[in-house]
Structure 1
Amino acid sequence: MARLQNMRKLWLVALLSMAVACGETPSTTTASSVPTTPSGEPVGVPASSAAPAATPSPSPVTPVGHTLRTHKVTWLSATPVDDGARLRLVWWSGVEPCSVLDRVEVKESADEVVVTLYEGQDRRSPDAACIEIAIQKTTTVALTSPLGARKVVDGAAS
């Protein structure tokens, strides 16, 4: 019995030692623990040599229609393309099948173009579990007449 208690104490000491060693944070690191070159200079990579992070391009999507739990989504930008005959919309969204483009409604007047995006969950995957991560999406919509000097308004923002 005494031998079993001694073994337990030994294991407890070993576990505590490992926990203390793993718990060291950068703020407790001493200068002597920083790797150095033979000349004593700290090892590191110059900031200018690191490749800049690439900005991912928005994922192009097309409306699928008839989604579940359909709701309006605000967009980030609406850029005229093809001499203003179409608008390229960019917005933040989630992953498919939980966040898919249902439809885009465009209402044109002499002074403005109101564009409203609608998203929902793909009806073919009603019980899907999706990670919550934001991705940029893009779609392009045709206008009945070129944009010209008209103002573009987000229909989901009002």
Structure 2
Amino acid sequence: VAAAPAAQGVMAETPAGPAQYDMMQYQQMQYTAMQQQMQNMAQYAQMAQMAMMPMVNLMGDQIAVCPHFGAGACPGDECPNQMAHPPHHVQIFSDGYMSTVKICADDLRGACTRNSWKVPCKYYHLPPSLAAARKRQREA
């Protein structure tokens, strides 16, 4: 009768048995796999977002096209109206009242590389004077 409590005390001090160890190891593996899957999902989401950025003008910023520029009556970059003077390859939108061009969001970040392609960027790249004015306007 005295040996039974000693045996119970020894078992209580020993580490987890093989079945418990396997279960803990399995749970740890599941947890690690779940963490890895979450990291992969976050990386895929980042990659998808980065892949989409250069394709779309996400900000939707637009600027009006100078009505005098098309007629050749405006000096261009020194326009007092601070309106767009787009090159021929930039897509112009017209609603019948005013013509506008979308501003290249990548160019605003200084990351547009499409003008080095065979087909140049279809969005308007702001000249430095307009870019500085637009930056001041956004900060105000």
TM-score (norm. length: structure 1):
0.22
Bigger strand share = 1
Bigger helix share = 2
**Larger relative contact order (CA 8 Å, sep ≥ 6):** 1
